[in-house]
Amino acid sequence: MLKRAAWTLLPVITAGLLSFAPFLYLTLTRRTARDRFLLGVFAAGTAVEVVILALVGADKVEGAPDFLGGVYIVVLAAVAAIMAWVEMRPGKEAAALPGRAYL
C-alpha cells in the first residue's frame, strides 16, 4: 500500500514532470502491452509539458497561453496520479510473470 501511494504521489509532487515514472515501473515489472501503451502516453504528455513550459516561459506577457499551460500541467499530474493508483491496485500483480521485477 505504501509503494502504491508513493508511485501515485510522484506525478503530483513533481508537477507532472515525472508522470511517466509509475508506468515505467509497471512496464519493467509486468511487461504488458497496456503498460507499454500507458508509458508512451505519459512520456509524450511529459514531453508536451516541457515544450509548453519552454514556449510560455519565453514571453513576458501573461495571458491565456499561460493559464492553459498551467491547466495542462495540473490535469496531466492528476490523470497520471489517478491512473497510477488504478493500475497498481492489489490483484493486478498476480497477472505479472514471476521473476520479471527489476525495481
SS3 content of the chain, % helix, strand, coil (to 5): 75, 0, 25
For the chain, the average pLDDT equals: 85
Residue 12's pLDDT is 92
d(CA 56, CA 40): 24
d(CA 77, CA 36): 19
- pLDDT tens-digit readout, 1-20: 888 899 899 999 999 899 99
Helix axes 21-30, 33-58, angle to 10 degrees: 160
| Grid-cell match 493559464, residue found | 67
Distance of CA 28 to the CA centre of its chain: 15
pTM for this predicted structure: 0.80
